Structure 1
């Protein structure tokens, strides 16, 4: 399918050799362009010298040669553009070819895997895996089953006995506060301290009253002002 769409890649000339050749040509054109640029600069300097020497004919000849060099530089620039365009196309074609080859290789590998893998074999393998899983589950159940004296125990009787123990423990917890709880004690109220008024001499009281009266009279005088 891919060969019909894109065709088979050619062996000669290969894409890599073509790109190498184009790179060599591009380098050669760039070198020639540099040489021509130097010649153009030299002709300009000569024309300036002849102009200063009043040799108009020689100066014009230098300018003519400069024009010829400039035309060659322009041609080299066009060649370089064409080579760049060709290189881009070849690189794109190379990427396309490599992509097609990779897809073709993947398709061949997938076809080989499909031929090597039969759906019946896959189903058979899955059945074997499921069977082994079931056998392992049965082995684990057999190993975890009680043996000896533990096999004679009745689970219902053990659960009933456990319920009786739980009921007795709950009853004991309910009765414990009524029988063993210590009597509550109310802390006694702290005693109210009695305030003792110190007895002061009558003379001190009289002097204090006189001082307060003087202070009050001074305050009234200030307010009057």
Structure 2
């Protein structure tokens, strides 16, 4: 029986296929409703046209309209039921997709947490902190200037620097003492007068020196001749 009536195919319909089929049914019902509505309007026109001329015809038209109205009401009820079913399927499909996504997310978290626990996290954080401290130490060591194979004595360098400074000061003092001193200009007449005043003194000193030289020569001559002074 299922082979002939396609029961297995209906049971295997996806939500999307079911919604498509139901919407096609809704479209067909809407067309049928429009057709019934048109026939009802036509029967009403017949009844109005014969209400005074032929009451039997008018009454028959109203009966047909009544039957059509009942069919229309049932059809509208069916369409409403199908539309409600479509909305329910769409909502269920959304819920199913949401559930599937949540399930996949949960499974992914489980797989992640199989390789991850709080102890491993703490150990990793400790290792990371240790490596950061090591990296900072390496960076600080590299940034310090080093003279490989030689250790510098700061006191010795300071003493040498002070010696160089003292030598430079001594040179500056020597240069200052050797610099010529500009004497004030003296009038020529004043210089001549000073020379005139100092000349007798210089002449007297010169004569005295000559006399002493003569006495010395005379003493040497007497001594060579064996004579007493």
Task: Name the TM-score, length of structure 1 as normaliser.
Answer: 0.54
| Cα RMSD (Å) | 2.9
- Evaluate the alpha carbon distance shift between residue 134 and residue 49 of structure 1 in structure 2; reply closer, same or farther with a 3 A threshold: same
Shift of 1:77: 1.5
Aligned to 1:50: 50
Task: Report 1 or 2 for greater relative contact order, CA contacts < 8 Å, sequence distance ≥ 6.
Answer: 1
Q: For 1:90, what is the secondary structure of its paired residue? A: helix
What is the CA–CA distance in structure 2 between the aligned matches of 1:36 and 1:127, rounded to whole Å? 80
How many residues in Structure 1 have an aligned counterpart in Structure 2?
144
Please name the residue that 1:96 is paired with.
95
Please name the residue that 1:114 is paired with.
113
The alpha carbon displacement at 1:126 in A equals 4.0
Residue of structure 1 in register with 2:85 after alignment:
86
Q: Distance in 1 between matches of 2:97 and 2:107?
A: 15
Distance, in Å, in 1 between the alignment partners of 2:76 and 2:117 is 63
Q: Return the offset for 1:101.
A: 0.9
Matches within 5 A, 1:1-225: 12-51=12-51, 54-117=53-116, 122=121, 125-145=124-144, 147=146, 152-153=153-154
User: What is the Cα deviation at residue 68 of structure 1?
Assistant: 0.9
- Provide the C-alpha distance between the structure 2 equivalents of 1:32 and 1:116, rounded to a whole number of angstroms: 63
Q: What are the ranges of 5 or more consecutive residues in structure 1 without an aligned counterpart?
A: 1-9, 158-225
Structure 2 residues without counterparts, runs of 5 or longer? 1-9, 159-229
Give the Å deviation of 1:141.
2.5
Give the drift of 1:118. Answer: 6.7
Cα deviation digits, residues 134-188 of structure 1 (max 9, x gap)? 232222332343556996447xx9xxxxxxxxxxxxxxxxxxxxxxxxxxxxxxx
Over 3 Å counting, the alpha-carbon distance change for 1:125 and 1:135 in structure 2 is same
Whole-Å Cα distance in 2 between the matches of residues 119 and 37 of structure 1? Answer: 71
TM-score under structure 2 length normalisation: 0.53
Counterpart position of 2:226: none
Change (3 A) 1:28 1:133: same
Compared CA separation, residues 132 and 151, structure 1 to 2 (3 A): farther
Cα deviations by residue, 1:72-111 (Å, 9 ceiling, x for unpaired): 1111121122112222322222122112211111121112
Matches of 2:136 and 2:152, distance apart in 1: 21
Distance 1:15 1:86, change over 3 A: same
Secondary structure, in 3 states, of the residue corresponding to 1:112? helix
